[in-house]
Structure 1
Amino acid sequence: MGGGAGLIRTPDQRLRVFVSSTLQELAPERRVIREVIERLALSPVMFELGARPHPPRSLYRAYLEQSDIFIGVYWESYGWVAPGEEVSGLEDEYNLAPDVPMLIYVKRSEQRNGRLDSLLRRIREDDRASYVAFDDAEQLGPLLTSDLATLLAERFDESSRRRPVPAHVVAGVSLSEILDPPRPLTRLIGRERDMQAVVRLLTTDGRRLVTLTGPGGIGKTRLALAAARDLEASFPDGIAFVDLAPLRDPRLVISAIANALGIRDTGEAPLRAKVTQALLHRQVLLLLDNVEQVVGAAADLSALLNASSVSILATSRVLLRIDGEQSVPLAPLASSAAVQLFLERARAVKPEFELTDDNAADVTAIVTALDNVPLALELAAARLRVLTPKVLLERLERALPLLVDGARDRPERQRTLRAAIDWSAQLLSNPERDLFLRMSVFRNGFSLDAAEWMCERSDAGSAVDLLGGLVESSLLQEQDRESRSWFSMLATVREYARDELESAGDLPKCRQRHAEFFSALAARAEPHLTSAGQSAWIARLNDEFEDIRAAADYYLAAGQHEAFADLVWPLYWFLWSTGRMREAEAWIARLTEVEDQLSDRTRSRAKLFNVGMAILEGPDPSRIPELEDCIAYFQREHDLPGEFLSQIAIGLLELMRGSSRLDIADRHLQCAREIAETLESPFLTSMALHIAGQVFLARGDARGAVEIFEASLQAAKDSGEVLSESAALFQLGWAMLLQGENVSASEFFVQQMRISSTVGHQQGIANGLDGMFAVAVAVGDFERAGRLLGAADEVRERKGLLPPAMLPYHQRVLAQVEGSPASEEFQIAREAGRHVDLAEVIEQALVSDRSSS
């Protein structure tokens, strides 16, 4: 499909569906469309919050270029025609739509605008478009669901080309891979030579560390993102975007890189070693943005460069001072480019704005006054919505000299930029400025409900109105993330606002309020993390994790240990499923340093967490008394979730200790099942049954294990939590295989692979490939077995996943084939499997294997 995205996508890079319609008259239909798109795990591209009659042309052009599917919904109105334009935004969106599938829905009417009728006649003749009439929003929902499902089954995205999916392969195979750089919504202006220099250094000249330097607002990030697009072909294994602006601790840089590469910190090996191994022989470019935040990580980055094949493009106000570093300093724009940039940004807020003989001198003077600094130009251009160039210049001439003179401790260009931000901030209303400063406590972006929370009980204006003013002033940027409006602040602007907040003495109060928001968010998220809403909540918490981390750090530093526990404990399943348990373990370790200050509840939770992490290292019987203490406490307090986890932990620990402890494991797992039933939690029931089934396998009772795993699968389906469903299918596959039922085993592994590949669960993909490997061995297809296992090896190495040695039956199958006459053929195929296209291997694995019969 379109958009230039590859087949392998990270969870935040789902297929984008652009929705074109008028806003008000089709509001019910737009709500239905958004619900359908999100239910199918796609990403809607829509204009809602603060939408004007139609968004600026440059904005929706950029959104269209990045979209994979176009949906047009039309009724009676043709839409607004902007001054100087010949067609409405509605028709313009259709005209600009790239070569992507088009689904067109027309609501029946006898009063349709004539120009809209003409557009619809043209659309009906477009062989790209599927054209359907409907009566109301209720009828539209099923139509759209069916059409999108059919479309996904017919089309498959690979690199920059399309090819159909075989009919027997599930639609929507999606692998979690590296975090791609964001696609800028505006074109790069005036940086052609700098761009050529960056590309040449990283390709022709073979440099492996290039650092773009310059003051804040000079355009380092924008240039780096543009260069990344030109460098895609030179780095076939991908370009990973790592935003370091939210970080304060250099020790977290490797973790941020791992996250961008999709590597989970599962705790069984040092994360640095996993990252190095994943990058060892791969042509990957790391785009590290805002490195000056964590320049103390230079030694770690140097070690990574020396131990792998990775290249780095960094943006920073200061050099890293690493051997081999090549600096590309950015100066302000040339005068002609600065004027061009100012004009383009002015037209984004005022489409009819033109450079004329009457205003040319004022525009030139504005650009000169702002030293040709891109961010300062953008901030000023935003004011042309309400000011003429002449009035804007007069205000700048009064404000800038005073403001610059008041900040002599900063470099000249930085003083000019800070003055421009200050000037723009001073033009805000008092409620807008108050919210602007408060939002600087967020390390990353923030959602609308976060802004409303930080408004507290202000009656000076709603959060939506205040945010609209900040967006119009270019002090905030807004975008859609799934169904949420998401706001972000440039690092330079955030630095200014945070300084102002601290000077006013309001920083501590706002940090407390910020932390309390994320405590409330964690409590809201907890029940959804083990239900059908899990995917949406994990996506949201991933977006906001840097601020969750900031809230945790704040609570610990402030000695608010109970508040810290109330923040982290509800996020247990999120931290576990996203590979963040090691960081959480470090947080908990800080709690144990003040154990005598903790309540019994927090002390028991911390103890349970620590023992759970210890189990990853292997069975340690000495930890059982601690778990028994936890059970006793949770029983006294009637804390059923805490008791459930404690019973599960002991059951798992006893299972790991060997056959002599299986009866004890069973007793604890039975207690866990009873608690899950009391809590009426299908997710917890599925988990308890999942481990109980492994006890049956450890006893050699594969038939009994099948019954338990089938019950676990049904409970998982009842919960709507797909990873539990995937895990149950995987265990069912092995249980069937151990009984010699190869066809059934293959079917279960295929179902498990479909779920894992669709949601991008790398551990599940690797496990599924292992299962398919075992089926191939069972039917004597050693060449296919080797290819599948080699692909599984590759997934594990890239993502630092748990080794298959965790499964004893896997090891038995591997020993069988390595000791057979086909060992050499198998090893050759296994090595080849490490180098084939992973998507193709998965497609082939998802095809029912006729030979298994």
Structure 2
Amino acid sequence: MVTGVHAFVLSERHDAAAGAATRRVYRRAPGDTSAAIPPGLGFTPARRVDQTSGMSPADPAIRTPDQRLRVFVSSTLRELAPERRAVRAAIEQLHLAPVMFELGARPHPPRELYRAYLAQSDIFLGLYGARYGWVAPGDDVSGLEDEYRLAPPELPKLVYVKEDGEREPRLVELLARIKGDDRASYAYFNDADHLAELVRGDLATLLAERFTRATGAPGEPDAGMGGTVELPAALTALVGRERELETVVSLLTDDDVRLVTITGAGGIGKSRLSIEAAGRVRDRFHGGIAFVDLAPVTDPQLVPAAIANALGIRDIGDGTLDEKLRMAVRDRRMLLLLDNLEQVLDAAPAIRSLLTDAPDLTVLATSRILLRLTGEHGVELGPLGMPDLRRGPDVARALAAPSVDLFVERTRAVKPDFELTDENVEDVERICIALDGVPLAIELAAARGRVLTPAQLLERLDERLLELGGGVRDLPERQRTIRSTIEWSTQLLSASEQDLLTRLGLFAGGFTLEAAEWMAEGIPDADILDDLGALVDGSLVRQEDRGDRAVFAMLSTVREYALERLGTRPDAAALRDSHAQYFVRLGAQSRFELEGPGQLGWIERLHEEGDDIRAAMRHLLDTRQWATAAHFAWTLYVYWWVDGHLGEVLGWMREVLDSGDELDDLTRATALYFDRANAFWQDPDDWLVPGLSESAALFRREGERSGEALALISLALALLGAREPDTARADDALEGSVALFREAGDTWGEAMALVTLGRVALLTHDVQAALARFDESLAVARRQRDDLGEAIALHHRGWAEVLLGDLAVARDCFEQSLALSAKLHHDEGVAYGLEGLTAVAAGVGDVERAGMLLGAAQVVRERTGTYNAPSFSFHQQFVDGILAGPDGDALEAARVRGRRLHVDDAVAYAMQRSTADATAPVT
């Protein structure tokens, strides 16, 4: 395939093989092996919002789909790299989420991190070879053993041991203890393939024991409609914020309070407090909680886009995001958590407008300063309570101070045997006072407690803060403290570690180990694993689990510091180019993967990398690298479309066209396509037809068959939408498109063009010809085993049967299409299925059913922003016929009830057969 424009499968939520892990213990002897369619053609895939369950293993059921079981994988890293890859693949094949630390088992400070993830995981998987792992100075066990020790007792444990090789003595001792653990299974493996087979079988056995699919509670109109983003996992305890937490929770539960802003200096703990408070009031907001991290956003005008992205609203250029946002939240009782708002405060009017238009919406924001909006309730977050040195050193009294309590807790995360004693208590108290009780500063200092005593730490800290204080006097006091502490912390790093930290500041969001390796290229004497590990150990970089991928991230305060350092370097421009090129390379790598069986995984990965993909595109445009920008956009076509960003791409490609620079043919063809195809219903005569014709011609000149074929489909749509539709020319364009797709071996494109040809036939009232085209497309989709393509063809086939008067066959087509769309959690496909069945119910006179399905379909469209897109549905004319008659009030009352249905309940209701005779003719 030549372009990235074919398999728009977007959201595969798997209903099979998911359930709570059982407590069954078993043992085994060694060796025993027990078209989808481009913009405007009808179906528009909705972005998947992946939510993990966060359930404890003791819960009676694992909620699935989309709230996937987490499998915590413990192993050494370099020794077992092939086996780790095999285990990850086996876990993902069962559609579970592997929790794998890219740095391997490290005790400092990921100990606190992996304790948090173990608490949120559902299965522990231990993988052991010959190595026991590194034991840090001052520790008595390696990270490998520590992970096993910290695994909750009720967590099912699957243990796999490689047969060959001499084992280190301490690993032999560990394995002996594991063998005696009645809660763990224990198996030997020969190689990576054998291991993968064992893991798949064991996990399948666990999953099959118990399975409950979770749905929202019936009667809650907002639950599950449109999707919201789960709150980030809390990796540490909230210390010393009981009063502020109570205040925020109290405000959020007050019906008269609509806007709460937590303010304070960077590193003071605003985000942590907001997440805790939101979690406490989750049950109050039936419409969900949407978490929006605004740290990567620097343009206030892009704040609505960030909120829309969090809500799963699609931007395909068919209306303003402001309008779609208002529609999505206008009648939902939901909480919008806007984190790191200080850098985009000019977006305050947009937030005020949203609050005005959505009376049941509440906004919780974090910012360094207030938004200054009417009705805003501010909660200022100051430093943690500090000890009083005037009363003399006392361990019990010192621990009562939250700042000391936090220091001790964080120090124990890196040095488990640390204790506050009469000998060190005064040094610890002075450290906390020197750091002004700022939580992030305390955490950075405590991270050095692994190798420095409190006295040594205080001495070095005092010297460094005094030295650095003069350089940052223009900052507020607490901000100066955190800035100086970050600077001090980096001075303890090696040269290569400092260089890496500066480069990693370029990542707008989380980044993978592979991305870090790319940015580390050229650093003298660098060892990426050791250097990145040192940054994690120093709490300057954090390791997270995002969906089923391990990623690294910086707090926004540390990223600000890194970017400051970058700005002083002569190679800053080259490093920004390197960052962009990593994502250009990622786009090229994903181009064909997006069209095959691995599409869903790539869509999820690219969604996770979305902030950096946008940053890369912005850099390419700002530096006028037009050809690279256009190529980048083209390789990611499927991602833009499935994830709902074609509206953004349209704006970028307009910049290319309006640049005034000379463009090569392929760049101009690509930019013209994105600019015109996404607005084919606007002024087709004067603007779209010429532009799409030129795009097709330029693609042809460059030998890009699939590009030309795609442009011809959009050209045909523009011709059909003209003031005087040219069906003959549109038909010729589509026939040419089919031929080109077939020449390119592009079966997805072929199916897409066939559906469009069927629609042209319907426009000319040749229903039988249309039906034949839809059947051809259906056959292609089924050969490819593509559920989304099959759903699209079935939907179109259903309407052809309606026009032929056979409502029974039409109902079958719509039900099959709806079932496939629901299986994929393709929201607009669900809306189409509900609309088709609305027409069937109205056609046979079942007013109650027609109204219920109509209301449910309307809510799905409103929540996902697809209510304004051109569609292929004729249900309204059936509804209008009832509204004009004596049953109009009954239909309207049923429609209101249908709007209160959870989407899953609406699908279940739609799949129940009507008592009416569906064989009645259309009236």
Residues 409-448 of structure 1: pairs in structure 2 closer than 5 A: 409-448=474-513
Q: How far apart are the structure 2 equivalents of 1:502 and 1:657? A: 52
Query: Any idea what the Cα deviations from partners look like across 1:275-300, whole Å, max 9, x if unmatched?
Result: 11222222111111111110111111
In structure 2, the CA distance between the partners of 1:581 and 1:26, relative to structure 1 (3 Å rule), is closer
Query: Any idea what the Cα deviations from partners look like across 1:569-615, whole Å, max 9, x if unmatched?
Result: 22223222222222222222222222443223322322222221230
Give the SS at the match of 1:480.
Answer: strand
**Cα pair 2:110 2:536 within 8 Å, conserved:** no
In structure 2, the CA distance between the partners of 1:137 and 1:228, relative to structure 1 (3 Å rule), is same
In structure 2, the CA distance between the partners of 1:567 and 1:529, relative to structure 1 (3 Å rule), is same
In structure 2, the CA distance between the partners of 1:341 and 1:726, relative to structure 1 (3 Å rule), is farther
**Cα pair 1:177 1:262 within 8 Å, conserved:** yes
**Cα pair 2:295 2:556 within 8 Å, conserved:** yes
Give the SS at the match of 1:441.
Answer: coil
Are residues 1:50 and 2:50 paired?
no
Q: Tell me the CA shift for residue 538 of structure 1.
A: 1.8
**Which stretch shifts more, 198-207 or 75-84?**
75-84
Tell me the amino acid that sits aligned with residue 49 of structure 1: L
Residues 404-553 of structure 1: pairs in structure 2 closer than 5 A: 404-458=469-523, 460-482=525-547, 484-553=549-618
Tell me the amino acid that sits aligned with residue 139 of structure 1: E
Are residues 1:203 and 2:253 paired?
yes
**Which stretch shifts more, 177-186 or 614-623?**
614-623
Q: Tell me the CA shift for residue 244 of structure 1.
A: 0.8
**Which stretch shifts more, 329-338 or 270-279?**
270-279
Which residue number in structure 1 is paired with residue 181 of structure 2?
Answer: 119
Give the SS at the match of 1:553.
Answer: helix
Are residues 1:17 and 2:69 paired?
yes
In structure 2, the CA distance between the partners of 1:751 and 1:345, relative to structure 1 (3 Å rule), is farther
Which residue number in structure 2 is paired with residue 140 of structure 1?
Answer: 198
Aligned residue among 373, 391, 405 for 1:322:
373
**Which stretch shifts more, 794-803 or 746-755?**
746-755
Give the SS at the match of 1:340.
Answer: helix
Residues 769-780 of structure 1: pairs in structure 2 closer than 5 A: 769-780=834-845
Q: Tell me the CA shift for residue 271 of structure 1.
A: 1.5
Q: Tell me the CA shift for residue 72 of structure 1.
A: 4.9
Are residues 1:837 and 2:902 paired?
yes
Give the SS at the match of 1:186.
Answer: coil
**Cα pair 1:477 1:489 within 8 Å, conserved:** yes
In structure 2, the CA distance between the partners of 1:603 and 1:19, relative to structure 1 (3 Å rule), is closer
Q: How far apart are the structure 1 equivalents of 2:784 and 2:431? A: 60
Number of residue pairs the alignment of both structures matches: 825
Tell me the amino acid that sits aligned with residue 98 of structure 2: P
In structure 2, the CA distance between the partners of 1:108 and 1:773, relative to structure 1 (3 Å rule), is farther
In structure 2, the CA distance between the partners of 1:305 and 1:143, relative to structure 1 (3 Å rule), is same
Tell me the amino acid that sits aligned with residue 306 of structure 2: A
Q: Tell me the CA shift for residue 392 of structure 1.
A: 1.7
Residues 62-101 of structure 1: pairs in structure 2 closer than 5 A: 62-67=116-121, 69-70=122-123, 72=125, 83=140, 89-90=147-148, 92-95=150-153, 97=155
**Cα pair 1:787 1:830 within 8 Å, conserved:** yes
In structure 2, the CA distance between the partners of 1:38 and 1:233, relative to structure 1 (3 Å rule), is same
Which residue number in structure 2 is paired with residue 281 of structure 1?
Answer: 331
Q: Tell me the CA shift for residue 187 of structure 1.
A: 1.3
Q: How far apart are the structure 2 equivalents of 1:108 and 1:391? A: 44
**Cα pair 2:668 2:695 within 8 Å, conserved:** no
Tell me the amino acid that sits aligned with residue 764 of structure 1: G
Bigger relative contact order, structure 1 or 2 (CA pairs below 8 A, ≥6 apart): 2
Q: How far apart are the structure 2 equivalents of 1:134 and 1:738? A: 61
**Which stretch shifts more, 364-373 or 70-79?**
70-79
**Which stretch shifts more, 282-291 or 45-54?**
45-54
Tell me the amino acid that sits aligned with residue 341 of structure 2: V
Which residue number in structure 2 is paired with residue 177 of structure 1?
Answer: 227
Give the SS at the match of 2:525.
Answer: coil
Q: Tell me the CA shift for residue 529 of structure 1.
A: 2.5
Aligned residue among 628, 632, 648 for 1:583:
648
Q: Tell me the CA shift for residue 396 of structure 1.
A: 0.8
**Which stretch shifts more, 488-497 or 35-44?**
35-44
In structure 2, the CA distance between the partners of 1:661 and 1:490, relative to structure 1 (3 Å rule), is same
Q: How far apart are the structure 1 equivalents of 2:868 and 2:49? A: 22
Give the SS at the match of 1:515.
Answer: helix
Q: How far apart are the structure 1 equivalents of 2:625 and 2:596? A: 30
Q: How far apart are the structure 2 equivalents of 1:483 and 1:202? A: 32
Give the SS at the match of 1:44.
Answer: strand
In structure 2, the CA distance between the partners of 1:680 and 1:551, relative to structure 1 (3 Å rule), is same
Q: TM-score, normalised by structure 2?
A: 0.82
Tell me the amino acid that sits aligned with residue 123 of structure 2: F
Q: How far apart are the structure 2 equivalents of 1:767 and 1:279? A: 21
Give the SS at the match of 2:363.
Answer: strand
Tell me the amino acid that sits aligned with residue 39 of structure 1: Q
Which residue number in structure 1 is paired with residue 709 of structure 2?
Answer: 644
Q: Tell me the CA shift for residue 159 of structure 1.
A: 5.7
Q: Tell me the CA shift for residue 434 of structure 1.
A: 0.5
Q: Tell me the CA shift for residue 254 of structure 1.
A: 0.9
Q: Tell me the CA shift for residue 636 of structure 1.
A: 1.9
Aligned residue among 297, 301, 311 for 1:247:
297
Q: Tell me the CA shift for residue 241 of structure 1.
A: 0.7
More helix by share: 1
Q: Tell me the CA shift for residue 58 of structure 1.
A: 4.3
Are residues 1:263 and 2:313 paired?
yes
Q: Tell me the CA shift for residue 703 of structure 1.
A: 4.3
Q: Tell me the CA shift for residue 540 of structure 1.
A: 1.9
**Which stretch shifts more, 534-543 or 254-263?**
534-543
Q: How far apart are the structure 1 equivalents of 2:157 and 2:711? A: 51
Aligned residue among 855, 867, 876 for 1:790:
855
Q: Tell me the CA shift for residue 500 of structure 1.
A: 1.2
Give the SS at the match of 1:241.
Answer: strand
Q: Tell me the CA shift for residue 744 of structure 1.
A: 4.7
Query: Any idea what the Cα deviations from partners look like across 1:65-106, whole Å, max 9, x if unmatched?
Result: 444x43656889999998599x96436424154xxxx68687
Tell me the amino acid that sits aligned with residue 178 of structure 1: T
Tell me the amino acid that sits aligned with residue 116 of structure 1: I
Q: Tell me the CA shift for residue 312 of structure 1.
A: 1.0
Give the SS at the match of 2:560.
Answer: helix
**Which stretch shifts more, 830-839 or 347-356?**
347-356
In structure 2, the CA distance between the partners of 1:22 and 1:421, relative to structure 1 (3 Å rule), is closer
In structure 2, the CA distance between the partners of 1:348 and 1:88, relative to structure 1 (3 Å rule), is closer
Q: How far apart are the structure 2 equivalents of 1:457 and 1:391? A: 34
Are residues 1:826 and 2:891 paired?
yes
Aligned residue among 205, 217, 222 for 2:272:
222
Q: CA RMSD in A?
A: 3.5
In structure 2, the CA distance between the partners of 1:632 and 1:123, relative to structure 1 (3 Å rule), is closer
Q: How far apart are the structure 1 equivalents of 2:445 and 2:627? A: 46
**Which stretch shifts more, 347-356 or 774-783?**
774-783
**Cα pair 1:190 1:338 within 8 Å, conserved:** yes
Q: Tell me the CA shift for residue 273 of structure 1.
A: 1.5
Aligned residue among 359, 362, 384 for 1:311:
362
**Which stretch shifts more, 454-463 or 685-694?**
454-463
Q: How far apart are the structure 1 equivalents of 2:599 and 2:534? A: 34
**Cα pair 2:685 2:723 within 8 Å, conserved:** no
Q: Tell me the CA shift for residue 427 of structure 1.
A: 1.0
Give the SS at the match of 2:472.
Answer: coil
Give the SS at the match of 1:189.
Answer: coil
In structure 2, the CA distance between the partners of 1:561 and 1:109, relative to structure 1 (3 Å rule), is closer
**Unaligned 5+ residue runs, structure 2?**
1-18, 22-46, 53-65, 165-171, 387-400
**Which stretch shifts more, 598-607 or 414-423?**
598-607
Q: How far apart are the structure 2 equivalents of 1:490 and 1:54? A: 18
Which residue number in structure 1 is paired with residue 11 of structure 2?
Answer: none
**Cα pair 2:109 2:539 within 8 Å, conserved:** no
Query: Any idea what the Cα deviations from partners look like across 1:107-146, whole Å, max 9, x if unmatched?
Result: 89999955334423x569xxxxxx9999942532552574
Tell me the amino acid that sits aligned with residue 278 of structure 1: A
In structure 2, the CA distance between the partners of 1:467 and 1:819, relative to structure 1 (3 Å rule), is same
